[in-house]
Structures are given as C-alpha cells and as structure tokens.
Structure 1
C-alpha cells in the first residue's frame, strides 16, 4: 500500500515539474522576462508597414527587444518598444 502512495506522489510531483518547465519555456519563447529588467519607450513613424506586435527590435544586428504596442494616429504611427536588459545603452 505504501509503495502505491509513493508512486502516485512521484507521478504528481513529476507532473508539476513538467508543467513548470513547460510554462517557463512558453514565457521564454514569447520573449517575456521574469526579471522585469527592461524599459519601454515610444517611437513615432510616418509609416509602420511590416511592423507587428512581437516584431524583434535590433540594434547593430543584435536583438535587444520587441514591439509591444502599435497605435495608429492621424498622420503617424506610435510604436511602443520594450528593450532589455535595462542596462543596455543605446545612443
């Protein structure tokens, strides 16, 4: 009887660990950061053709962030960009 309880407990623990790893992997693939060390700023474009939420932001060929919001205005498009890590300096 005891070995059955241990086996069921082990299966439950394994399922929780697998779910946790899957959740963290999904967050990582979506580009979300658990550390929260990023900053967001707005850019204004006359034409934002081809931009989508989630589009990578590159600086000198290196991914430094992603597009988090696109807001069309009357004559321009406001684009919110999240850059991480927060200590990255872009001149």
Structure 2
C-alpha cells in the first residue's frame, strides 16, 4: 500500500483516501486496520473502513482484537441487518 501511494504521487496523482475492509462477506477477511491507520496518518490520507459485514464484531472481545485500529477511521460503513438481526436492509 505504501508503495502504491508513493508510485501514485510520483506519477503526478494525488491519493487522498484508503478504503480498508473489516470483514468480507465471502471469507471474513480483515485488513490490518491498525497498520493501515498508521500509514494514513503518516501520509495524510483519509481512512474509510468498509465494515458492512464485520464491523459489528467489535461488540465481542475477539472482534475488538481483530478490528483493532477501526476506531481510528475517519469514516465507517456498517449494515445492522447482517449481525444485529434487523429484518430489513439497512446501511449506515
């Protein structure tokens, strides 16, 4: 990721945002949120976390450990219907 940011800047582009994943629907994969937050802080980039599937796991002890760094995001999306048993689709 750091190399991609550097390469973009060298090419005259202006990266401004990184989108990290807090749990994918198919595999549950979680990006290293704390490390990504460090990079964003260092590089002056906005950190958005796509937590639509996994963000609600932060309510559990294991989830808090796995999602460490999510609290450092500038913005976050989550879908309460996926873990919080809402009977209709909600995104916020």
Higher strand share goes to which structure?
1
Higher helix share goes to which structure?
2
Q: TM-score range by the shorter chain?
A: under 0.3
Higher radius of gyration, 1 or 2: 1
What's the TM-score, normalizing by structure 2?
Answer: 0.20
